[in-house]
Structures are given as structure tokens and as C-alpha cells.
Amino acid sequence: MSWLLAAAVVWAGCTWAALRIARGPLSRRRAGQVAVAALFGATVLVLWEGVVRGLAVSPVILPPPSAIAATFAGALPVLWGDFVQTILKGALSGWAIGCGAAVATAIAIDRSDFLKRGLLPVGSFMAALPIVGVAPILVMWFGFDWQSKAAVVVVMVYFPVLVNAVAGLGQTDRLACDQMATWGASWAQGLWKLRLPAALPFIFNGLKIASTLALIGAIVAEFFGSPTRGMGFRISTEVGRLALDMVWAEIWVAALAGSGFYGALALIERALTFWHPAQRARG
Amino acid sequence: MRHVLPVLAVVAAIIVAWYGAAAWMNSQWTLDQAAREGRELTIVDIVNDTMVQERPKLPAPHQVGAELWKTVVATRPGSKRSLLWHGWVTLSATAAGFGIGTVAGLLLAVGIVHSRAMDLSVMPWAVASQTIPVLAIAPMVIVVLNSVGVSGLLPKAVIAGWLSFFPVVVGMVKGLRAPEPMQLDQMATWNASRGQLFWKLRLPASMPWLFASLKVAVAAALVGTIVGELPAGATSGLGARLLSGSYYGQTVQIWAALVAAAVLAAGLVALVAATERLVLGRMGMRR
């Protein structure tokens, strides 16, 4: 009972503080905005802990955050091994191959209007399909280890990046193209110095979508067969043993990896497309 | 019409490449069989055999077509061997989840637009959550809900709803904020109440955003349902067909289930797109 009461008090306190900040002058400042978001996150954690302990919810249904944190800290070597297997080997290598192939294809078909008109509808159609379903097939073809996961990721990220890259390459200003022609620029020079930079905001949009898809693909593909390590393997086996604190720890790893990957891409994008209005507007 | 010929050409190229890959990938098995029996094979024999194998590495398109015909048309729709029945199981969970996720997402978006505190506290998390592979929790949700006695359609719908929830929130917050300051000032000049501002300006202005995010959401809901059907014990739905196919090496069955999932996804997105055309057309916003 005291847990529930404490949780309710913290909830009320945080809500009051968040409302104060949101209505006050601080809400226009970055510090205030971060504080409100952090308060909300903290409230959810405290409520979760309080309700689980207060109502004595069984740990096989929902473990409290403290237990998850303890498992997380205790199982660091295992989690690191899974992270290397799934994220670094499976997702990252597949992401790099898939995105590289997609951008290369976009550059290759960019000169042919016929291919563009044919491939774009097919590409956007494929991008909407539940491609993760090819996982069982690719696991059969490439074996249980990370190669099959990378293959799933390649197929998943290829079409969204292709569609974005083709759209980006079509963004170049007609006038700027003519200017390059006036200067006698070769096709490669025009591509490297004008069209590729102009396409970067679109390509990065595709890369960011692909980063989330890559993690999903690598994890879900492990549900169809994997060596005895990897995040998807761990999640499915620990769910079977009802060791939910370990499952939640893996989910935290996935969340950290996902937001870290995305954040790194956003930083690179900011460094490479500093000239774009969307970046300059932030000041 | 400009697109028809190029698209047909690309699709034809894909089918040709598929046949080529099927012949190449399945030939190893044929050659092994022949070597074991000490037979000599001509190229024609090899190619012919690769098209009709029982468990090919890559089934040829016509084999997948035949399997689809067998399980969709030639089987009674209610039977467990019918792909229509499995597709219906997946479709119903997807639709339920999509409905839950959309309604919840709309409500949260309305709250975020009207409350600065909610905007500041929830919105960063909603955006951040899109970078997280939420699908990883699917098996846990299924098992946990099963252990508290909830099974069948609902657990899958929860996952599908969760996945379609966030695109709708993020898209609708953008959409409800789409009216320009000038239009908002105009409404203030007319002394519009908050309700009038919402129903007569914000909601209509957000429709293009709503449909854009609904297309993303419905595709995500389908993926969520299919992954939700993977954990052990699931016996119905397209995800279960994929899993059992991979257990028993029934590649043709996997491909048939994949095609069915693709048709379902395309149909759902097309349905949303048609609704979009209808609604935007009636509102005079057709582009």
C-alpha cells in the first residue's frame, strides 16, 4: 500500500512541477523542455515500480524497473555478446551493404528515365510490404549465423533507401545543372559536386528509416534460427523461461542501440548538410 | 499511363531473373541426385527438374502460383489448410490493432496540441520511440498476455496497435499544427471558441497528414501482426504459416504465405489511399 501511495505522491508532484514549467517562461528554453521530458520519463519509471510492488504483480508478468536494472548490470557480458552478434555483425553490416547498394542503384538508374519510371513504383510498392517475412527463406539460404541476418537487413533497407535516393537525385535545380554544363563539368563532377550533395537530405532520410528497419530485421530474423547468442535468440528463449527481467534488459539494449544509431546519423547529417535550410533554421 | 510500360518491363525482368535464379539455385540438388544414381543429364533435363522440385531452395513463380491456387481457390475457405482462412486471421488482428492504434493516436495528438505540458513531456518520447525496434517486444507481449488468460486475436492486435500508434501521433501533431498563423488569427478575429477552432480549422487542415501517417500505420500494423504470430504455439495466421514452413522446409508454402502477405499489405494501403482520395476530394483538397 505504501508503495502505491508513494508512487501517487511522486506522480502528483511531477505533474505539478511539469505544469509549472510548461506554463512558465522556462518552457521556451531548452533546459525547461528537457526537464519536462525527463520528469515524464522519471514519473513513468516511478509509477511502474510503485504499482508493480504495491499490487505485488508477479515478476513473470511485469518485473519492476529496479529488478531490470539489476539484471542489466549483472548480465553485462551476455548483453554485450548479444549486442555484438546482432547489432554490430548482423544489423550494421547489412545496413551498410543495403544502403550502399541502394544509393549505387539510384545513381545508376538516374540517367535512364525509363528505368526510373519503372523502378520507382515497384520500389515504393516493395517498401510497403512486410519484407521481414523473407527472414525464414534467407535463414535457410545463408545459415544460422549473422550472415543470414545481414541478408535480411539488406533486403529490408534496400527499397526505402532506393526510393529516397532517387527522389533526392531528382531534386537538383535545373539552373544549377545548366551552370555545371556551362563550366564543362563531366558527368562524374556534376554528380559529386552538385547532385549528390543536393540529394543528401533525402538520402539521410532514407538512411534514418533504414537504421530502425535494420535493427528490426536483425532481431526478428533470429526468431527463425540463430546460434546460441544474439538479441532475438535471447528474447525468444528467455520469454520461454519466463525470465522477463532479462527480456526487458535486452529491450533496453535494443532501445539504446536504436536511439544511438539514429542519433549518430542525425549528427553526421547535420555535419554534412549544414547548408540546408532545415538545418540552418535551428540556429 | 506513362508508368505502365516501364513498370511492366521491370516486373518482367524480375520474373525472368527469378526463373534464372531458381534454375541456378536448385540445380545443385538435381546434380547431386543424378550423380548418386549415376545418370547423365543434359542442360534441358536439369532446367526441367529445377522447376518441379518438391522442396526447392527457390521455388519457381509458377510453383508458388500453383500453391496459391491450391490453398486459396481449391480449398474450402473455412478449412485450416486454406490460405484465405490464415489471411483472414491476420487481417482481422491487423484491422483491430490498426483501429485501436489510430483512435488512441488521434486522442493523444489532440491532447498534445492543446496542452503545452503534454507536448513537452510526451512528444520527445513519442519521437524517440520511433527509433527503437519495438517489434522486439512482440514475443513477450504474446506470452505475458497468454499467461494472464488473454489469447487469440487480442495480443496480436495490441502489438499491431502499438506499432500503428506512434506514426499516427507524430503525423497528426504535425497536421493539427499545419494551419498558418494567419488562419489562426482569422479564427481569433471571428471570436472562434477552442472547439470551433479545432473542428473547423485544425481537423480539416490535418487530413493530408492523417492519411499519410495512416498508410505508414497500416503497413506497420500488418508487420506487427505477422511477427506477433511467430512465437511458439501459434497455429493460425500468415506468420504461423511462415514459421511452420521454415520448420518443415516447405519453401513453397513460405513463398505462398509471403505473396499473400504482400497482397494483403498492398490491399490495405490501397484501401487507405482510396479513402484519402474520396475524403480529400469531398473536402475540395484534391491535388
DSSP structure string for chain B: -TTHHHHHHHHHHHHHHHHHHHHHHHHHHHHHHHHHHT----HHHHHHHHTS-SS-SS--HHHHHHHHIIIIISS-TTSTT-HHHHHHHHHHHHHHHHHHHHHHHHHHHHHHHH-HHHHHHHHHHHHHHTTS-GGGGHHHHHHHHHHTT--THHHHHHHHHHHHHHHHHHHHHHHHT-S-HHHHHHHHHTT--HHHHIIIIIHHHHHHHHHHHHHHHHHHHHHHHHHHT-STT--SSHHHHHHHHHHTT-HHHHHHHHHHHHHHHHHHHHHHHHHHHHHHHHTT---
Based on the fold, state whether residues B149 and B213 are members of the same structural domain: yes
Q: What is the mean pLDDT of residues B230-234?
A: 67
Is B279 a residue whose pLDDT tops 50? yes
Q: Could A220 and B3 be called an inter-chain contact, meaning their C-beta atoms sit closer than 8 Å?
A: no
Chain B residue with minimal CA distance to A247? Answer: B140
pLDDT tens by residue, B4-17: 888 888 888 888 88
pLDDT tens by residue, B49-95: 777 777 788 888 888 888 888 887 777 777 777 888 888 888 999 99
pLDDT band of residue B287 (cuts 50, 70, 90) is low
Q: Is residue A62 part of a domain?
A: no
Is B24 a residue whose pLDDT tops 90? no
Question: Of A167-171, B17-21, B283-287, which gets the smallest average pLDDT?
Answer: B283-287
Q: How many inter-chain contacts (A to B, CB under 8 Å) are there? A: 169
Picking from B3, B24, B121 by the largest number of A CB atoms within 10 A of its own CB, the best residue to mutate is B121
Based on the fold, state whether residues B243 and B168 are members of the same structural domain: yes
**What is the model's pLDDT at position A282?**
55
CA distance A81 to A146: 13
Based on the fold, state whether residues B244 and B130 are members of the same structural domain: yes
Based on the fold, state whether residues A78 and A50 are members of the same structural domain: no
Based on the fold, state whether residues A227 and A154 are members of the same structural domain: yes
**What is the model's pLDDT at position A92?**
92
pLDDT tens by residue, B157-211: 988 998 888 889 988 988 898 888 888 899 989 998 888 998 888 888 888 889 8
Sign of the alpha-carbon dihedral angle for A28, A31, A34, A37: negative
- Which residues 105-134 in chain A show a CB within 8 A of chain B? 114-119, 121-122, 125, 128-130, 132-134
Based on the fold, state whether residues A11 and A150 are members of the same structural domain: no
Residue A140, judged by CB atoms within 10 A of its CB (0-12, 13-18, 19+), counts as: buried
Based on the fold, state whether residues A227 and A262 are members of the same structural domain: yes
Question: How many structural domains are present in chain A?
Answer: 2
Please list every residue in chain B whose beta carbon sits closer than 8 Å to the beta carbon of residue A133. Answer: 226, 238-239, 242, 257-258, 261
Based on the fold, state whether residues B134 and B168 are members of the same structural domain: yes
Based on the fold, state whether residues A31 and A152 are members of the same structural domain: no
DSSP label of A243: -
pLDDT band of residue B1 (cuts 50, 70, 90) is low
Based on the fold, state whether residues B237 and B161 are members of the same structural domain: yes
Say if residues A201 and A115 touch (Cβ distance below 8 Å): no
What average pLDDT does the structure give for chain A? 86
Based on the fold, state whether residues B231 and B109 are members of the same structural domain: yes
Is B30 a residue whose pLDDT tops 90? no
Based on the fold, state whether residues A29 and A115 are members of the same structural domain: no
Please list every residue in chain B whose beta carbon sits closer than 8 Å to the beta carbon of residue A240. Answer: 143, 232
Between B271 and A114, whose confidence is greater? B271
Say if residues B226 and B238 touch (Cβ distance below 8 Å): yes
Based on the fold, state whether residues B128 and B19 are members of the same structural domain: no
CA distance B185 to B260: 50
Based on the fold, state whether residues B52 and B157 are members of the same structural domain: no
Q: Is residue B75 part of a domain?
A: no
Based on the fold, state whether residues B111 and B233 are members of the same structural domain: yes
Percent of chain A past pLDDT 70, that is, above it, reads: 98
pLDDT band of residue A283 (cuts 50, 70, 90) is very low
Please list every residue in chain B whose beta carbon sits closer than 8 Å to the beta carbon of residue A141. Answer: 57
Is B233 a residue whose pLDDT tops 80? no
Question: How many structural domains are present in chain B?
Answer: 2
Angle in degrees, 0-180, between the axes of helices A76-83 and A65-74, rounded to the nearest 10: 80
Picking from B132, B162, B214, B241 by the largest number of A CB atoms within 10 A of its own CB, the best residue to mutate is B132
Based on the fold, state whether residues A94 and A50 are members of the same structural domain: no
Q: Which domain holds residue B129?
A: 83-282
Q: Could A133 and B238 be called an inter-chain contact, meaning their C-beta atoms sit closer than 8 Å?
A: yes
CA distance B216 to B101: 12
Domain-ending residue, one of A18, A33, A57 = A57
Based on the fold, state whether residues A119 and A234 are members of the same structural domain: yes
Q: Which of A22, A128, A255 sits opposite B117 (nearest CB)?
A: A22
Between B202 and B148, whose confidence is greater? B202
Percent of chain A past pLDDT 90, that is, above it, reads: 14
Based on the fold, state whether residues A186 and A47 are members of the same structural domain: no
Based on the fold, state whether residues B239 and B199 are members of the same structural domain: yes
Say if residues A244 and A63 touch (Cβ distance below 8 Å): yes
**CATH number for the domain harbouring residue B127:** 1.10.3720.10
Chain A residue with minimal CA distance to B133? Answer: A216
Based on the fold, state whether residues B38 and B146 are members of the same structural domain: no
Based on the fold, state whether residues A194 and A250 are members of the same structural domain: yes
Q: Is residue B73 part of a domain?
A: no
**What is the model's pLDDT at position B286?**
62
Q: Which domain holds residue A99?
A: 72-282
- Which residues 40-59 in chain A show a CB within 8 A of chain B? 40-41
Is A121 a residue whose pLDDT tops 60? yes
The model's pTM is: 0.84
Q: Which amino acid is at A34?
A: V
Based on the fold, state whether residues B104 and B203 are members of the same structural domain: yes
The alpha-carbon gap from A8 to the nearest alpha carbon of chain B, in Å, equals 18
How would DSSP label each residue in A133-193?
A: GGHHHHHHHH-SSHHHHHHHHHHHHHHHHHHHHHHHHTTS-HHHHHHHHHTT--HHHHIII
Based on the fold, state whether residues A31 and A160 are members of the same structural domain: no
Is A146 a residue whose pLDDT tops 80? yes
